[in-house]
A and B are shown apart, each in its own frame.
Chain A
């Protein structure tokens, strides 16, 4: 299974943009890139996903490199509530059940 590499932790100031990187150099052509986050003492929650093109939703944006070997989750204006562990996950195209979480990036947001 393709693996992802994320920094252990990052820090941001409130109301500033945050760019969370993820490296996935062994990604296959049909793997989807998913991002989940886990707030303190809660279960993970879906953030965004994509295949090749950049994606936007109400929570975040996902920028995918042209060679797909890396991606970046963008929070446009970080709030204190965005402090969480962010997981970058690769999922085979037709297998929603191979959904393996790594250690993620712990994002701290300073007021």
Chain B
């Protein structure tokens, strides 16, 4: 257990509603990431953060925003959910000392937009 928790683990929401997913870590790592996983696409990077209030876009950032007001929390927001955002979302953290090459992933959040 790498001290990373995602919430909720499962969510069903309606098209057009806002949704926020939370990633919480207890490791005090600087780098945090949000990925989505769809069948046939592996994992794709949405956004990442390299510190409090420091974030950047990944390869599939359209329709998503993120915020990081505390080191331990990285929030992913879908401002107006669409059916194409039905996916499994994974959060990851990465240390900046020691085992730099190893990212640790959460258990995932399964989001269904109906």
A residues apposed to B, CB below 8 Å: 32, 34, 36, 41-46, 49, 87, 91, 96-97, 99-104
Contacts and interface: CB of A to CB of B under 8 A. Distances in A.
Nearest to A85: B42
B108 A43 contact: yes
B9 to A, nearest CB: 11
19 contacts: A41-B108, A43-B105, A43-B106, A44-B43, A44-B90, A44-B103, A44-B105, A46-B104, A49-B101, A87-B42, A96-B101, A97-B31, A97-B45, A97-B48, A99-B45, A99-B103, A100-B45, A101-B42, A101-B43
A45 B105 contact: yes
Given A99-B45, A101-B42, A42 B107 contact: yes
Which among A32, A34, A44 has the highest number of chain B CB atoms within 10 Å?
A: A44
A43 B31 contact: no
A103 B48 contact: no
A104 B39 CA distance: 11
B42 A46 contact: no
B105 A103 contact: no
Interface of B: 31, 33, 35, 40-45, 48, 50, 56, 59, 90, 92, 94, 100-108
B50 A97 contact: yes
Given A43-B108, A101-B35, A101-B44, 7 more contacts: A36-B103, A46-B101, A87-B42, A96-B100, A97-B33, A101-B42, A101-B43
A42 B37 CA distance: 12
Nearest to B41: A103
B31 A103 contact: no
Contacts of A97: 31, 33, 45, 48, 50, 56
A42 B109 CA distance: 10
